[in-house]
Amino acid sequence: MSDIISYIEEHGQDFEQELFELLRIPSISTSSDHKDDIQEAADFLVERLEELDLDKVEKIQTDGHPVVYAEYMPHPDRPTVLVYGHYDVQPPDPLEEWETPPFEPTIRDGRIFARGSADDKGQVYTHLKSLQAFRETGTEFPVNIKFVLEGEEEIGSPHLAPFLKEHKEKLETDMVLVSDTAMFAEDTPSITYGLRGLVYMEFELVGPNRDLHSGVFGGAVDNPANVLCEMIAQLRDDDGQIQIPGFYDKVRDITPEEREAYRKLPFDEEEYKKELDIKALNGEEGYTTLERSSARPSLDVNGLWSGYQGEGAKTVLPAKAGAKVSMRLVPDQDPNEIADLFRKHVENLAPDTVSIEVTEHHGGFPAMTDPDFYGLKAAAEAYEDVYGKEPLFKREGGSIPIIAEFKKILDAESILMGFSLESSKIHSPNENFLQKDFHRAIKTSAKFFEVLHKYKE
C-alpha cells in the first residue's frame, strides 16, 4: 500500500491538471446547446479509462446522454464494486456572482473553484486515479471494478434505470460505490446511509384571456397571481406540516436510536444560521434542523412567475401565474404516488375563476443503505486510515435518483463515500472542492479497494 500512497502523492499535481481539463468542459445536461460538450466530457473519461489497460471501456449511447462504462475483473472469487458518478453539471448562473469563471478552474485558498469541482467531476475522478495508482505501480488490483458514469444525473437520470435493466447481467455487482455526497464538516469523514427522494411538479393558472387593466377589472375578476399565492400558502400549515391529503401516509418514523445518533452529531445551529445570514430557522414542529433537512419530507417553491417584472410599475392584472414546486421524500414514500396526490390536491384547491394545468418533471425514490452491509465497514476503515478519524454515519437531504434503482434492479447496496463540504456550494456560484480532500479522497478510495475483500461475509 505504501507504493500506492507514494504514487498518489507524487502524481497529485498531474491529477489536478487532468481534472482541470475535465472541469473546462461545460457539460451542462439540461441545455441542448451543450450536447457537444456532454460528448466531449464522456470522451475525456473514456480516454482516461483506456489508459488504465482495463478489460473493457465503452461509450454507450442512450436515448439521452451517453453512459461511460468500463470494467476490470481480475478476481472471479472476490467482490465486484460498481463505481457510479456523473460527468454532467448544473448551469452556472448567475454568472456575475462567480469570482472566477465557472469553467476556468482556479485554485484559491486551498480550494479548486469550478462548476462540477465537487458535484461531481472532482469526486468521481478520484476513483479513476486510485485505480491508476494500482495499475501504474504494478500492484495487483484487489477486487473487481466496473464504472458507470452518466451524463444526466442533474436532470433526474431519465435514461439510466432503463439502461440498468437492459444491461442487467453486464452490470452485475456486489455493491455500488458513489462519491457524490458531502462530509458533515471539514476533517470529519462521513458515510451517508440515507438520501431523500424527489418529486418535481409545475402548475400554471390561467384566468382572463389577456392581461387586464387592474383599475378597470381589479376587484371583479380574480387575479391568477393572487390565487397562486393563496394556493401555495395552503400547502403547509403553521406547524410546517404539508397539507396534501395522504402525503405522510407512508413516511417511516425516525427511530429513537436514530434520533439519539442525530443528537450526537457535532452540529452548531448558530453557526449554520450565521453562514446563511439568517436570523431564525423554520420547519416542521417537533423535529430538529438536521432531522428536518434529511429524515423528514419537505416542500419548496423553486420558481414563481406572473405579472410585471420590469423596471418601475405597471398596473396590470396578469392573465397567468405559475409555480415550480419540489418535494423531497423519505422512505417509504413513492414519488409517483406523491405526484398524483399533489396533482389532485392543487386541482381541488384551484377555484372556478381560473383553469389549472399541472405538469410532472423528474423524480426519484428515497434510498437507504443497510447499516450492516459489510462494504460500509471497509469504507469506514479506509476513511479512518486516511483522515485519522472514524467516519460519522448520517443521512442527507439531497437526492441521487438512481441509488434506489441500483437496489431494485441490481439488488446492490450503495456506499455513499462523499468528500465535498457544505461550503463546496454545489449548484451555487463559486462551487469548489477542497484541494486536500481531492487528494485524500484518492487515497481513501485506494484503501477501500485494498481492504474490501477482507470484510466479505
119 lies in the site for ligand BES, by CB under 6 A: yes
Q: Which is nearer to ligand BES, 65 or 320 (CB)?
A: 65
Judged by CB under 5 A, the residue of 16, 71, 88, 119 near Zn ion is 119
Q: Which is nearer to ligand BES, 317 or 434 (CB)?
A: 434
Among 8-16, 144-152, 224-232, 399-407, which window interacts with ligand BES (CB under 6 A)? 399-407
Among 95-103, 258-266, 367-375, 398-406, which window interacts with ligand BES (CB under 6 A)? 398-406
**Grid cell for residue 56:** 473493457
424 lies in the site for ligand BES, by CB under 6 A: no
Q: Which is nearer to ligand BES, 194 or 322 (CB)?
A: 194
Q: Which is nearer to ligand BES, 8 or 441 (CB)?
A: 441
Query: Please, are residues 440 and 400 in contact by the beta-carbon 8 Å criterion?
Result: no
Of 321, 299, 158, 282, the closest CA to residue 234 belongs to 299
Other beta carbons within 10 Å of 282: 10
Query: Please, are residues 96 and 161 in contact by the beta-carbon 8 Å criterion?
Result: no
Please list every residue from 186 through 205 that binds ligand BES, using CB under 6 A: 195, 198
Smallest distance from ligand BES to CB 85, Å: 9
Whether residue 332 has a cis bond before it, omega within 30° of 0: yes
Smallest distance from ligand BES to CB 328, Å: 8
Tell me the residue ranges of DSSP E strands in 278-426.
298-306, 316-317, 320-329, 355-364, 367-368, 392-396, 413-417
Residue 291 touches which of Zn ion, ligand BES, none (Cβ within 5-8 Å per kind): none
Among 117-125, 155-163, 279-287, 297-305, which window interacts with Zn ion (CB under 5 A)? 117-125
d(Cα 151, Cα 154) in Å, to the nearest integer?
8
The alpha-carbon radius of gyration of the chain (Å, integer) is: 24
Residue linked to cell 473553484: 113
396 lies in the site for ligand BES, by CB under 6 A: yes
Please list every residue from 142 through 181 that binds ligand BES, using CB under 6 A: 153-154, 156, 180-181
Smallest distance from Zn ion to CB 90, Å: 6
Per-residue exposure over 72-90, b if at least 16 CB sit within 10 Å of its own CB, e if not: beeeeebbbbbbbbbbbbb
Strands 111-113 and 413-417: unpaired
d(Cα 370, Cα 374) in Å, to the nearest integer?
9
362 lies in the site for ligand BES, by CB under 6 A: yes
Smallest distance from Zn ion to CB 399, Å: 9
Smallest distance from Zn ion to CB 88, Å: 9
431 lies in the site for ligand BES, by CB under 6 A: no
Cα separations in angstroms, 190 against 378, 379, 392: 13, 10, 5
Please list every residue from 190 through 249 that binds Zn ion, using CB under 5 A: none
| Contact set with Zn ion (CB under 5 A) | 119
| Contact set with ligand BES (CB under 6 A) | 119-120, 153-154, 156, 180-182, 195, 198, 362, 364, 396, 398-401, 426
